[in-house]
Chains A and B, each alone.
Chain A
Amino acid sequence: MSDRDHDHHAETPEFPAGVDVAPDGIARRTFLQLVGASAALAASGCAQSTPPEMLPYHEQPEGLVEGVPLHYATTLSSVDGFGVGVVVTTREGRPLKVEGNPDHPDSLGATHAWEQAAIWSLYDPDRARGVARMQGPLRVPATWDAVTAALTAPRSDGGAGLRLVMRPTTSPLLAELLGRALRRHPSARVTFWSPLAPGHARAGARLAFGAPLQPRYDFGRADVIVALDGDFLTRGPGRIRHQAGFAARRRPPAMARLYVVEPSLTVTGGMADHRLARPSGQVPSIAAELVEALLSSSNGGAAARGANAEALAACARALRASAPPDPSAGNDPRRRAFVAAVARDLAAAGGRVILYADERQPPLVHALCHALHAHLGAVGETVTLHPSPLVEDTPAIAARALDIKSLAGELRGGAVDTLLVLGGNPAYDAPADVGFAEAMTHAKARVVLSPYSDETALASTLHVAEAHPFESWGDARAVDGTVSLQQPLLQPLDGGHSAVELLALLAGDAAPRPEALLRARHARGFAAALQRGLLDGTATPPTTAAIRWSALAATPPAPPPVTPPPAGLVPVEVTLAPDASVLDGTLANNAWLQELPRPFTKLTWDNAALIGPTTAGALGVSTEDLIAVTDAAGRTVEIPALVAPGQADGTITIALGYGRAVAPGIGERTARGVGRNAYPLLTTTGGFLVKHATARRVGARHPLARTQGHFSLEGRAVALSTTLSAYTARPVVAPHLRGPVPTLMPDVAARDLGGPRTNEWAMAIDLSTCVSCNACTIACQAENNTFVVGKEGVLKGREMHWLRIDTYYRAPVDTRDELERATDEPRPIHEPMLCQHCEKAPCEYVCPVNATVHSPDGLNEMVYNRCVGTRFCSNNCPYKVRRFNWFRWTEEVPVNAGRISLQQNPDVTVRERGVMEKCTYCVQRIRRAEIAARLANRPLADLEVRTACQQVCPSGAITFGSLTQKGSLVSRAHESPRNFSVLHELGTRPRTQYLARIENPTPALPMTSSDKGHGE
């Protein structure tokens, strides 16, 4: 940051006071301290490092109290364009931490990992600066005037040669500006492109209702949920609210039942009561079978709704026809039983059902889901329909929309002289058959707005650095249409600009003032909205659109794509999926996300081809073997294989977003060389599904950095689970794994810990609702200044995450290299593992220097500045939750140094090389709350202290509080019959305890292996 920020202060008086004075006064001092801290700590082992001087403010900023955080409500837009309301914590002008906005309908106070990681992107050192003319890979700095000139210049052709590319968005402001721009250039066209949203869901809605309605699901009310290759917990609009609602129905007694059909384990699939691992390509025919089963079943209500039945049957026929010939379907007893069971439950659920399909599935499947919702009476019960908040669906703009393939055609045709790309990276992520990178070079003027010098920026003539959402004004809608505002928290660090400004220019506004534009757009209640984060009364009422049964009945069966599989090679169906961390590649440069262990595979800093054990055997590959995946058109991707339990036979799943082709030294340095690019396999025809692909072993190997290598429970009672029926029959899970253990030692409660017992901090984690979305891991990282260690570090087993999510497969597996032998139904269970804060902590008595000791309020304290680094404590920790600073991470992994240190939480010590660290129960939050309460002479209330992981968890799986506060949530959780301690028999008396996972399988289906939990 530089002094120019301060100059801007005068121009923006309506800024929240003090927000933009970061460079001066305390902020700089704290910054110096932090940097000084790490440097000096490292140099002289916690010796005092006196900054030369103290710089006071010029004028004390109003409302700013040094050392006391300020919170600002703003909005982050997901890749699908929908907004998530967040509250950002700032200290002396530096944004430090993102929390969910409890008032926002699609956040409810929680976030996912991507929102948490946004803070890292803000300080990303690789972000492009300002405006530049591109000469090849060379960025020649240019002025804002260049952009103004390029965009405001009146056009003679009425915009015939002008084309826009935008990411899907729901922003009312952008909609307005885009409208104005298109009116100014009547023949200009706009393309909305995101590889993750090919629009199947909306097309399906159009089929069903004649309009692209946006369904809004209430999973809290659903008794039966059927996910047809659809990961509703971490994908698509409303994901966070989905998870909250779903979690609410995973706790006994009133539990929903979840059926999942999918090719490879997703977060949703991991929570399934019954899961059918089948290729995506089979899902349509499975859906068809489901419909037929429903109609044939006695109480399917077929008689009642004859017309519907006809239409449904027609859909089923169409689906069958469109689906590829699938020989296995006939002799697949498991599949038949599964479908029958689902049909029976759906029919019996009385409308409290949800069927959810992924963008991967063809529109007809989505249409069928809508039809079934209507047929079963779910509309209004669990599903409401809203007018699509997406800008591309507003009639005026839809009329001017252009799909990316035709756009490429026009570009090649030379009809386009000016191409304006507002966000997104089409040169990298457009389908292979579009060849956008080459096509866009045909336009004379190529103005690109993007945060990095990415593929598209490098192919541009004029590159405008895109400002981070925390640096710019804007807005976005939630699924129900609620508008939330996006306000800047600091001046753009790299002089970036926003799509709002560029569109305004295009609309003829020579000197756009985004803040003024936004205020004008939302005149009513703007100030209040800035405080609360969202505009009241902007939610759109549910529409009462009816299914167009007749139209559905007339759906022509789409002819199945027939491509003969090449002889001699093992044919596989490749499923392309957004990566659990970097999505479509937008977040590829985010070190936090890159190091975040992907669910199930626990893979970091890479993507891989997930292959089921059987198929791997057929191909003769094992994990880390490089394989060549070739599609019918001969496009090949070389990628390391990863043998993944739960992967459907004959399928390979590859995550998108990797293998960024950016020249060394420029652009996204963190992302470069990470993983392999799978976009060559993405086509406009096939979409995410690459049928009739082939795979073969290349011979070479490629090491994969994974944070967990052993997934079997080894029959140990570590992560407990049982079924609802068993639990209701005998509501106790593991009496032998709770309560006091026989000991000769004096009771720890009787031990005098020095000082009065104020609180007894404790935590409870519910395995029933933990879906392993990873939000907690990264929230902890953001809160506690945890460094990243890079691929090398992870390979050496040196990751620093204080909170990890262990995943075990309960299916019986071989004890050695078990992944190769796991069944296709691994039955995963997730167990967040962090410091257990044992009352009798094994780490404490072995530390030679008393660097880890117990506090009177029951915390296992880790004193970094006393630690000499014997690692004795880690050896003796049976939970292995302690982390060691093997290096001075700021030197070993440069991305930890420099600007990101502005993000570091000034309330948490930056750890030096050679000291041990671990979860502290966010002691800095505890102490802050205590001091506040004691100054006000009042006791702490329950939930007044919330740990970072607890606050972020969309499932509410983590409860934290004091056992001495009677009736506190955590004390009730500890008394729950589901409660147990991990490794209870060791007598460590952990304060972090777990609630056994309860599952709700239908008696209609045979229990898969070891359905009995350890509880019984």
Chain B
Amino acid sequence: MAAPFPRWSDTALRVALVVIVLFVIALVAAPMIWMRTIFATGQTFEVDQPVQFDHRHHVGDDGIACQYCHTQVERSPRAGIPATEVCMGCHSQVWHTSPMLEPVRRAWMSGSPVPWRRVHKLPDFVFFNHSIHVGKGVPCTACHGRVDKMPLVQKVAPLTMGWCLDCHRAPEQHLVPLDRVADPAYVPKPGEGAELAKAYGTRHLTHCTTCHR
């Protein structure tokens, strides 16, 4: 009876075995790598907004402080999306005919709000509080990056739990003086963070109910 397999089948079998092993390894490694890519975290992707609001212009050129529009950031868990009246406060005077601002004017007239698109979104089981961060010297840029250089706001931080923990374990690296939290250009001096941490009584809060309640 003829041999069921040609000579090369041994080699083929060995190759096959190697491939199988590699495939299994990839199966485990791939998702772990994927989770760390910007495609999973959604970083650096510009989000189209109903109004081409340009932070670069408002913050950078005009030097308007963050709190001018995000009025509640120092008192509230949420930074807050400025009410339409805030926009109209200026734009009823300046650029009040600009077609770019048409949606805002329509919103102001109709009373139905501008449907802004969300860029930074934490899961519903995460309770982030803006006021305590800003109130203890964590600058806006620590999480939101150089908004003053963004034509359209994009997510710069991965906002993963690991990323949050990195800062919560060593907040010193990010702290700035309270009066500079809203200054995107401010660069803390070496060692300043540590002193501020002492001054503000910064704590290293890494227990779960800090964020999950």
Contacts and interface: CB of A to CB of B under 8 A. Distances in A.
Whether chain A touches chain B in the assembled complex (some CB pair under 8 Å): yes
B36 interface: no
Contact of B118 (A51, A861, A931): A51
A934 B207 contact: no
Nearest to B210: A927
A856 interface: yes
A873 to B, nearest CB: 14
Given A865-B123, A927-B209, A935-B132, A56 B75 contact: no
Contacts of B102: none
A864 B80 CA distance: 27
Interface stretch (A42-50, A311-319, A501-509, A786-794): A42-50
A53 B207 contact: no
B26 interface: no
Interface string A844-878: 00000000011110010101111000000000000
Nearest to B77: A67
B204 A754 contact: yes
Interface in A868-916: 907-910
Nearest to B79: A66
Interface of B: prevailing SS: loop
Given A36-B124, A755-B203, A907-B127, A58 B85 contact: yes
B38 interface: no
Nearest to B74: A935
Contacts of A60: 71, 83, 85-86
Contact of B207 (A756, A856, A907): A856
B132 A58 contact: no
A46 B125 contact: yes
A861 B113 contact: no
A923 interface: yes
Contacts of B76: 65-68
B213 to A, nearest CB: 5
A841 to B, nearest CB: 14
Interface in B106-123: 107-108, 111-118, 121-123
Given A60-B86, A66-B80, A910-B124, A25 B203 contact: no
A55 B84 CA distance: 10
A291 interface: no
A865 B113 contact: no
Contact of B213 (A56, A58, A758, A909): A909
Contacts of B12: none
Contacts of B113: 24-25, 55-58
A248 interface: no
A607 B96 CA distance: 68
A286 interface: no
Nearest to B206: A754
Given A54-B116, A56-B81, A57-B84, A924 B213 contact: yes
A923 B213 contact: yes
A924 to B, nearest CB: 5
A935 B81 CA distance: 22
Contact of B121 (A50, A59, A861): A50
A59 B124 contact: no
Nearest to A25: B113
A591 to B, nearest CB: 24
Contacts of A55: 81, 113, 115-116
Contacts of B118: 50-51, 53-54
A41 B83 contact: no
Interface string B169-186: 000000000000000000
A33 interface: yes
A71 to B, nearest CB: 16
A48 B161 CA distance: 13
Contacts of B83: 25, 56-60
B43 interface: no
B208 A853 contact: yes
Contacts of B121: 48, 50
Contact of B212 (A24, A863, A931): A863
B43 to A, nearest CB: 14
A53 B213 contact: no
A861 B209 CA distance: 7
Contact of A855 (B80, B82, B207): B207
15 contacts: A50-B121, A54-B116, A56-B84, A65-B76, A755-B207, A756-B203, A863-B212, A907-B213, A909-B213, A920-B209, A923-B213, A924-B127, A924-B213, A931-B132, A934-B132
Interface of B: 71-72, 75-78, 80-86, 107-108, 111-118, 121-125, 127, 129, 131-132, 135-136, 201, 203-210, 212-213
Given A67-B78, A755-B204, 19 more contacts: A25-B83, A36-B124, A37-B124, A41-B124, A47-B123, A49-B124, A51-B118, A57-B84, A58-B111, A65-B75, A853-B207, A856-B207, A863-B208, A865-B125, A909-B212, A927-B209, A931-B132, A934-B135, A934-B136
For the complex of A and B, the 8 pairs showing the least CB-CB separation, nearest first, are A37-B124, A53-B115, A67-B77, A56-B81, A855-B207, A57-B83, A865-B125, A60-B83
